[in-house]
Structure 1
Amino acid sequence: MTEHVQQGDVGSTTVTIVDPALAARAESAAAALAAGQVASKLTAQDATLWGPAAEPEASIRLSWTTLHRSSRPLIGEIETLRAELRSEGVERVVLAGMGGSSLAPEVITGTEGVALTVLDTTDPGQVADALAGDLDRTVLVVSSKSGGTVETDSHRRIFAEAFREAGIDAASRIVVVTDPGSPLAELAEKEGYRRTFLADPNVGGRYSALTAFGLVPAGLAGADVARLLDQAAGVADALAADSPDNPAIRLAAALGAAHEDGAEKVVLADTGSGITGFGDWAEQLIAESTGKEGTGLLPVAVEGPQAPGFADHGADATAVAVGPAADGAQISVTGPLGAQFLLWEYATALAGRLLGINPFDQPDVEAAKKAARSLLDRPEGGQAQEPAFTDGAVQGFGVTAANLTEALTGFAGQATGSGGYLAVQAYLDRLDDASASLLRGELAKRTGLQTTFGWGPRFLHSTGQYHKGGHQNGFFLQITGDAEEDLAVPDRPYTLGTLQLAQALGDGQVLAEHGRPVLRLHFTDRAAGLAQLVAAVQEAIR
């Protein structure tokens, strides 16, 4: 550390700007934010902070600033329901939810070491594995803010039928979390589901960690959600303070100053925080909030401080340690999970002000959904594409190449030196095909580009907004694969496998319309195709 290190410290919650040059650049931005009283205005839910165009949306999206108080009544309600379920022998919690409805509960339960089965996928194999669990002791939490999320509705239909076929009253095993007046709320009442938790409608999905969306599934699984709210409450006053030492002001100022100097990527590595999977949650918050109007901060969640892209980051990225500072880190953020949730929400909203965008809308998310729905309406025509090549267990689409090595060589050559980023999008089973995530590090190391990895369609509810709305310099590697067995969606004219492929093709179509290169590789045999791809990456990109 040097005398230039700047730190916002609130008990055990700190933001330290380790890099002296970045600290100096952030100082004036922090002072301006403090002088403008933006922290206290944000806490007071002042919707004018992001300009007139953002005001209508911001006015109905700011209740998250007081959730550490307003969510308190949920604690007893969750514990009562959990006790009821356990008295009936129901101890296994399966969560059907996408984006903000699943990322926070997964971080909370992972950090506390309690079991939660998360379904944020349309992969038939992964859903089948969840169904294979003990249904006699399973409760399904169906979580959707809009109430119309296609993935979540599919999961609900599949599990309801499985409960009935097992002789279990499906309604008694389904708990709903949704917004008041949503189609899901109406359905829950009609079907007589076990319990419906209505969340605060004035909180957007990615800011909903401390609402019913984050607390109900985590609490039913056994996480101490009261402690989580206590942690947030412990830092709330400091985050509302109009001071350059406010940790959220400090973090927002640093990210804004770095972006102004061309560091449009934010590389997140856990350095011993004790929090499990925090980067995945922060990824959605940052990408969806800032990635629009051709600007934004691209979050890159990496495997650790030694991973490619962190210590060796270039001038286009800011390395942030979630935990103590590590080699290469420019910023270090420490604190317990509840405090970090609130800190990053404040900082991201303030960074949106510095970037001149509305951090509460997601104007480009719907495009991929519409394209997927269009393909579902004509699944045969939409998916009957001829591959450019077939090489062993891998078929290539969207490329002029004779084989896999040639396709990867051309793709990497196009991206390398562009100043952009690579995005690996794996429409696979994130449990059985988990080794696909190794591609992120391999590609980052070999191309020198910041490289993200997302499981499809999960990332569509996260970084998908940035891909279409942020800096238009991404290169996209889609991976799809044949499933050993498909799953029908009851009362719907498609299977999960059909839906999964339609989502990949729909997003690829929208990216192509934005002029972005998309290489899709399809595995006719997943295990063989994945091994072949890893070997080809090592051979083709040196």
Structure 2
Amino acid sequence: MFNGWRAEERSINIRNIRERFFNKDTSIWSGTPEVQDKIANRLGWINVADTMLKKADKIYDFVEKVRADGFGDVVLLGMGGSSLCPSILERIFGSKAEWPNLFVLDTTDSRVIIELEKRLVLERTLFIVASKSGTTAEPLSLYKYFWQRVKKVSETPGRQFIAITDADTPLVVLAKTNKFRTTFINPGDIGGRYSALSYFGLVPAALIGIDIRVLLNNAVAMADVSRKSADDDPVFNLGVKMAEQAVAGHDKLTLMTSPKLTPFGLWVEQLIAESTGKQGKGVIPITGEPPAEDYEYGHDRFFVLMRLGADDEAKWELRKENIRRSGNEFLEIRLDDLTDLGGEFWRWEAAVAICGAKLEINPFDEPNVAESKENTARLLTQLEAAGDFERQEVAAANSQLVLRIGPWARAEVEQRTPGLKVTGSDADGLLKAYLTLVKPGKYLVLLAFWPETEASVKFLNGARSRLSRYYKVATAVGFGP
């Protein structure tokens, strides 16, 4: 590992670490043999573009047969890393004329599922069941639902399903048993959030007419630039800068993008958060936040400006000047066109891996994901035993708002607002008191457990903009379940 560099050591250390990185030297991230063994099975993404270029013909042959069979819609059933890349590619590129439409279903919300089904002609819909482990509960539950629906309109439902998974998973067995059209076996040494340039991202992309060879060649080119660079490595410099800024208190990495690139921020957000957010350290990704004036930013930001070369130069110069006046720093990334995103997937994956090394954390594990699954199992056991979940007490309510508050927040609010009776108080007053917990250097996240629609996104973005300006903190928005 290599934290604690002095400025004059940066160049020689980057060159040293870069060579070890391309040789897949796991000691960059850990000195523990057991951890190194696990990391060794997570580094396939480093050269996945070269690997997948050899598989491109196979993907295209599959796509041509799907089109020839008249499929008009493709529905991807997945969660997290198995679905996020296809979702953002569809939002950015869309489907080519006369190619299938792609819908990504990454929620168990029955309202969203029903609304999607209304848009489909089931007889002409191809379903992709995507899960690295082959055991992910959500996509398998969605599969079971749509399998029953397709069986009602087809005597051969298996021809309308494909699987993307690792070798020897339960999903492989399921696909074989039910005679799926095909199964794409992904390289097993790639974690979910690093799988953009593998079958998980490429098969859905090819189905809507995206030139996956161009994406992959741009990824190879980005890796080659990094491998051959001297001190101006555009990949490692980003990763090192992210870590240095975080250590210096500028841990809110704020990604500003051209409007066409806005969805890409969702993928970067997950990559950074899940890779670095552990052991009380990490980089906090802020994406989709509207640009602000210099005095509205706290002194805890690090900006990355990701833009298309054809953008209005004056607008970006104004943004850069506001950032300079705010006392924060920025890096700029320019793309010639949208297909350059192939290189950006690789750049950000490598940069986040290097950032993790410099922060002395393992960017390839996800201990809190395992913890979350254990908590979910515990809650489901409780539900089975008691018939309901334990619910927090309603603290306040009015015609538009119901507030529940946990023990920690309750204690903090009561301490900061002497005399306030948390339970039974007016909802507006309690919400204002709760927001006094938001202080400079912190961040505020709005988590909405309702369908992600144009109206809900607009509402939450308006709320985050007002809250960010008022409290001078970074804000983020997320949807669930």
TM over 0.5: same fold? yes
The whole-number CA distance in structure 1 between the counterparts of 2:131 and 2:450 is 22
Letter in 2 for 1:333: I
* Structure 2, gaps ≥5 residues long: 96-100, 309-315, 324-328, 411-421
The whole-number CA distance in structure 2 between the counterparts of 1:301 and 1:59 is 31
Letter in 2 for 1:369: K
TM-aligned CA distance change 1:271 to 1:32, over 3 Å: farther
1:343 and 2:347 correspond: yes
The whole-number CA distance in structure 2 between the counterparts of 1:411 and 1:107 is 34
Partner residue in 2 for 1:518: none
The whole-number CA distance in structure 2 between the counterparts of 1:165 and 1:387 is 44
Q: CA deviation at 1:110?
A: 2.4
TM-aligned CA distance change 1:128 to 1:411, over 3 Å: same
Tell me the secondary structure at the aligned position of residue 454 of structure 1: strand
Q: CA deviation at 1:28?
A: 4.2
Q: CA deviation at 1:389?
A: 2.8
The whole-number CA distance in structure 2 between the counterparts of 1:253 and 1:386 is 45
Tell me the secondary structure at the aligned position of residue 282 of structure 1: helix
Q: Deviations 1:398-441 (Å, cap 9, x if unpaired)?
A: 25353331232122101234x22112111111126333432322
Q: CA deviation at 1:139?
A: 0.7
1:73 and 2:73 correspond: no
Letter in 1 for 2:195: S
The whole-number CA distance in structure 1 between the counterparts of 2:109 and 2:458 is 16
8 Å contact kept, 1:268–1:279: yes
The whole-number CA distance in structure 1 between the counterparts of 2:13 and 2:450 is 43
Letter in 2 for 1:143: A
The whole-number CA distance in structure 2 between the counterparts of 1:169 and 1:396 is 50
Partner residue in 1 for 2:25: 46
Give matches, 1:312-461, under 5 Å: 312-323=296-307, 326-327=319-320, 328=323, 330-335=330-335, 336-379=340-383, 380-382=387-389, 385-398=392-405, 400-401=422-423, 402-417=425-440, 419-431=441-453, 433-438=456-461, 439-457=463-481
8 Å contact kept, 1:147–1:178: yes
TM-aligned CA distance change 1:137 to 1:437, over 3 Å: farther
Letter in 2 for 1:257: E
Tell me the secondary structure at the aligned position of residue 330 of structure 1: strand
Q: TM-score, normalised by structure 1?
A: 0.75
Identity of aligned residues (%): 30
4+ aligned runs moved over 4 Å, structure 1: 25-29, 383-386
The whole-number CA distance in structure 1 between the counterparts of 2:215 and 2:9 is 31
Partner residue in 2 for 1:83: 64
Q: Deviations 1:77-113 (Å, cap 9, x if unpaired)?
A: 2222222122221121111111111111122232222
TM-aligned CA distance change 1:271 to 1:382, over 3 Å: same
Q: TM-score, normalised by structure 2?
A: 0.84
TM-aligned CA distance change 1:26 to 1:155, over 3 Å: farther
Partner residue in 2 for 1:533: none
Moved more, 53-62 or 432-441: 432-441
* Number of residues of Structure 1 aligned to a counterpart in Structure 2: 428
TM-aligned CA distance change 1:28 to 1:411, over 3 Å: farther
* Structure 1, gaps ≥5 residues long: 1-24, 458-542
Give matches, 1:390-539, under 5 Å: 390-398=397-405, 400-401=422-423, 402-417=425-440, 419-431=441-453, 433-438=456-461, 439-457=463-481
* Larger RCO (alpha carbons 8 Å, 6+ apart): 1
The whole-number CA distance in structure 1 between the counterparts of 2:220 and 2:116 is 35
Q: Deviations 1:445-479 (Å, cap 9, x if unpaired)?
A: 2222111111123xxxxxxxxxxxxxxxxxxxxxx
Which of 20, 41, 46 pairs up with 1:60?
41
Letter in 1 for 2:468: A
TM-aligned CA distance change 1:78 to 1:30, over 3 Å: same
Root-mean-square deviation (CA), in Å?
A: 2.2
TM-aligned CA distance change 1:357 to 1:440, over 3 Å: same
1:213 and 2:236 correspond: no
The whole-number CA distance in structure 2 between the counterparts of 1:357 and 1:28 is 24
Partner residue in 2 for 1:489: none
Tell me the secondary structure at the aligned position of residue 255 of structure 2: strand
